[in-house]
Structure 1
């Protein structure tokens, strides 16, 4: 079951430390599966290795076993960079300390984790060989760092590590997240407008649509799914007004013309804007579209990598709509998957997808990094509604 949970709703737990600190052995002990290669040879783990696991009451989580942050050489630098990318999207970190105790390498890792505002614990591993020194214990106590002694070999304090993860996990991961469940009641109708175009996956719906349909069913409400071309007929067939209409952003302009103004209307992407990020910030970021100048560069952020089609939403449609709205010649650059530009300052605006394939931590961290660099950030649905002139309409269901 944990293997089937969407990647974007998993808690991400990253083990970081020096080579040969026992990170791989610890992942194996925690998950009770030998999924990471273990060797006495330093540097066995070269790339981050993911392991899905069910950690109740948190639910599905992903553990990342990473390359040692004391790796050397040109290849070592690439491995370290890959490890830091994983840390950047982590909800919880475990700093694994080996026989040498706390060295400048571990202290630098802790410094980076604190800067990223990631809750963490320190695991003094290999306690079967060496207990942490009095100096290391005193240092952790003075700094207020949570730490445990453990032995992956003897499975000492493995359950305690799991409990520590549960204790320090972000509060939002300990409660059931809400997409649209607070916008309708039991027995009410919710209409979902799902266009079928070239970008629609064959034989299935996209993840935001599936998650919202499941939430409607879990809330004992009634779901009506239709294409935009049949929306008017679908609405006329209902014997009373729906509690909510949710549409794909690509057709929001036409849908807004059909849905009566007294019926709450929003988009899948707008719901994901508050589910995965911070809706007020993304709405504020959309206002920067009005300030764009000739030749400005805009970042298009995609959470997943895919082969673009001729009507691709992020690479074709949004650039066309924004250019049409502003009347300016603008440059658009796309970054996909977990890639995100390090030179954010050169962008005048970041327009991010709904982030259905990212966890909330990574989306918020991307938003915070944009804000820190002075780059307004919005998302696909909010930006499209802005340039289509219906932003205020799709925000009416929310108390902003």
Structure 2
């Protein structure tokens, strides 16, 4: 990702679904004006979801997702169908492409039912309108289009834009709890997993949010914090730290200065902080031999002391003095069946959009599995969870219950 690009998690996610040969890929190409997807008369040409970040007028930054046919067959076909359904979990707007010459099928109706169940805004694009003969009145959610002739493609784009209601006024990462001219100190150890010359994404996003609030961002490494605070001449409103150095930063930050972590802010931004706080407190009740899932939303080159696979398991064992069976997932993979786990510890989810993070949290809730995230759990193990959410009254109430 370039420094000037909108992160994938902050883009409107538009998913194209339907049966094989309905013309999904052709519609994707027509809507985007680019040859993003391979088009063929052979059924099953799209074998894996295709993702493309781009600007789509009148929407702006979007992530286009073309999926395999929902009616694929065989063992490999079942895997492709499963991947298509996984794409739904991150979809903000769904476009169901059907073949106008044959009309809706049972598979199409099942997809519509899933969109409604998951509360996904959707439109049905009745493709191949140029071959369908008599033009019947369009029904609710439906529009007749032709990828071949371009018929009603612009109208389809307008419908997609109208459905992509993004909550521009929703919670910011930090901008709603600071005021103009406030000082905010960000403690950012140089993360070896980040490409050389870059900060990790939550740090970039938080700095941008602070600047948009007309506040001042001061960025330091963990060993520079105490000296920086002494030389400021003014108390910062807030200190935000990487969770891995929570203990040191807490010791170096005056008690009358708010303190939190990037991971906790991301949990709040994604709408799962209250759940994460409840989940962290379950750590005390785990038993020897319990299975704990540690899940990351991205894939990266793992270092020898990787936080997810090495540090967190070590810290959890040291805190509980118990032995657990740790399992790990990363990227788009998240188990459907969570019954074997006694606790799920998720990363901050900076690479996942809000819909997918809430989907994962809801999967855990439905199966009665406690769910927390890295920063919240680390703060709990360090004994500073209450301090790290002190600026959020509703979360404080949860801790004090």
Q: Would you call these one fold, judging by a TM-score over 0.5?
A: yes
Matched, 1:84 2:85: yes
Counterpart contact for 1:49–1:65, Cα < 8 Å = yes
Which sits farther off after the overlay, 179-188 or 198-207? 198-207
| 1:117 alignment partner in structure 2 | 119
Counterpart contact for 2:8–2:53, Cα < 8 Å = no
Partner Cα separation in structure 1 for residue 71 and residue 255 of structure 2 = 60
Partner Cα separation in structure 1 for residue 356 and residue 133 of structure 2 = 35
TM-score normalised over the length of structure 2:
0.92
Determine helix, strand or coil for the equivalent of 1:230. helix
| 2:250 alignment partner in structure 1 | 256
Counterpart contact for 2:191–2:199, Cα < 8 Å = no
Partner Cα separation in structure 2 for residue 185 and residue 275 of structure 1 = 18
Per-residue CA deviations over 1:179-224 (Å, capped at 9, x if unaligned) read 1111222222110001235445433210101111122222222111
Counterpart contact for 1:92–1:169, Cα < 8 Å = yes
For structure 2, which runs of at least 5 residues remain unmatched after alignment? Answer: 395-401
Shift of 1:176: 6.7
Give the counterpart of 1:326 among 306, 320, 325. 320
Q: What pairs up with 1:207-226 in 2 under 5 angstroms?
A: 207-226=201-220
| 1:12 alignment partner in structure 2 | 13
Partner Cα separation in structure 1 for residue 161 and residue 169 of structure 2 = 12
Determine helix, strand or coil for the equivalent of 2:131. coil
TM-score normalised over the length of structure 1:
0.92
Counterpart contact for 2:193–2:300, Cα < 8 Å = no
| 1:47 alignment partner in structure 2 | 48
Shift of 1:52: 2.3
Partner Cα separation in structure 2 for residue 176 and residue 386 of structure 1 = 27
Matched, 1:156 2:158: no
Q: What pairs up with 1:249-398 in 2 under 5 angstroms?
A: 249-398=243-392
Shift of 1:131: 6.0
Counterpart contact for 1:132–1:149, Cα < 8 Å = no
Distance 1:156 1:223, change over 3 A: same
Partner Cα separation in structure 2 for residue 171 and residue 132 of structure 1 = 37
Determine helix, strand or coil for the equivalent of 2:123. strand
For structure 1, which runs of at least 5 residues remain unmatched after alignment? Answer: none
| CA RMSD across the alignment | 2.1
Shift of 1:101: 0.5
Counterpart contact for 2:19–2:107, Cα < 8 Å = yes
Matched, 1:238 2:232: yes
Counterpart contact for 2:264–2:375, Cα < 8 Å = yes
| 2:24 alignment partner in structure 1 | 23
Partner Cα separation in structure 2 for residue 348 and residue 66 of structure 1 = 33
Distance 1:297 1:161, change over 3 A: same
Counterpart contact for 1:124–1:132, Cα < 8 Å = no
Give the counterpart of 1:165 among 140, 160, 179. 160
Query: How many equivalent residue pairs?
Result: 392
Counterpart contact for 1:192–1:247, Cα < 8 Å = yes
Per-residue CA deviations over 1:248-272 (Å, capped at 9, x if unaligned) read 1111111111111111111000110
Partner Cα separation in structure 2 for residue 198 and residue 110 of structure 1 = 44
